[in-house]
Amino acid sequence: MSIFDLTGRVAIITGGNGGIGLGIAQALVSSGCNVSIWGRNAEKNKAAAETMKAGPGKVDARVCDVTDAASVKEAMKATLDTFGRVDGCFANAGIGGGGRRAFIDRTEEEWRKMFATNLDGVFHVFQAAARHMTERAEAGDKFGRLVATSSLASIFGTARNEHYAGTKAALNALCRALAVELARYGVTSNAILPGWIKSDMTAGLMGNDKFVANVMPRIPVRRFGEPSDFGGIAVYLMSKASSYHTADCFVIDGGYTAY
C-alpha cells in the first residue's frame, strides 16, 4: 500500500462545500478517504458532494453551524454514526474581514462575530474531534489529525483587518499547544496559511484591476492560488507520512511571503 493511501480513514472538513475546503475534500476522497462535509448551506453541501460521487472515498454532507456547540455535537454524532470513526478534522470554516473599516471604528458586534466564527468555531470542532480521538487512542487505536486553516494575516500587519488577523494568529498558537498536549495520543496538530487564493471570499479582490496590478508582481509563481493547490498538503497531513510532523504552520502562497 502507498504511504499516501487513505483507504479506511475518515475526515471532517468544515466549510468543505467550497473554496479551499472543497479542494481539500476532493483530494482526500481521490486518495480513498471517506469525507464528511460540514457547512451551513444544505444545497451547497449537496452540490459539493456531487463533485466527488465517483470516489473512491465516500462522501457525507452535514448542515452545521460551527458557532453553535450543539450543532457541532449533533454533526459529530451523525458523522460517527455514518462512518464509525473520525481520523482527521480540517477546521476550515471561516469568514473574512473585508478590510474596509478602520480599527477605531470597529464595532464590538463585528469583533465578536469574527471571533465567534473563526476562533470559537474551531474550538467547538477541535474539541469534539479531539475528544473522540483521545478516547479511541485510550482504547488502543492511536491516530488523529487536527488541521486549521489560518492565514498570512496571522504573520503580517493587516491594516483594517485586525479582528480577522487576531483570530488567525490565535489558531496558530492553538495548533501548537494542541500538538504538545495530544502527541501522546498519536494526534498531530498543524495550521495551513494560504496566500491569495481564488474563492467566493476573494472574488471581489480578484476582480479589482488595481489590486491585481499591485499584488501579482509580489507572487513569484505569477498566479493566484487555486483550491486544488491545497489537496497535496491535505493528503500528506492525513497520511502516515506526516506522523512525526506536528506543531507546524504551512505557508502555501506561491512564494508571496519570501519576496
Angle between helix 231-238 and helix 19-30 axes, rounded to 10 deg: 50
Instruction: Tell me 197's DSSP state.
Output: B
Q: For the chain, give me the number of helices (H) and strands (E)?
A: 9, 7
Which run of H or E residues covers position 128? helix 121-138
d(CA 73, CA 69): 6
Alpha-carbon distances, residue 20 vs 3, 92, 202 (angstroms): 24, 8, 11
* Residue 164 annotated to the active site: yes
Beta-bridge mates of residue 60? 36
Helix (H) / strand (E) element for 233: namely helix 231-238
User: Which residues of the chain form beta strands (DSSP E)?
Assistant: 10-14, 34-39, 59-63, 88-91, 144-149, 187-194, 249-252
Choosing from 164, 185, 256, 259, which is the catalytic residue?
164
Sign, CA torsion 147/148/151/152? negative
Catalytic machinery residues:
164
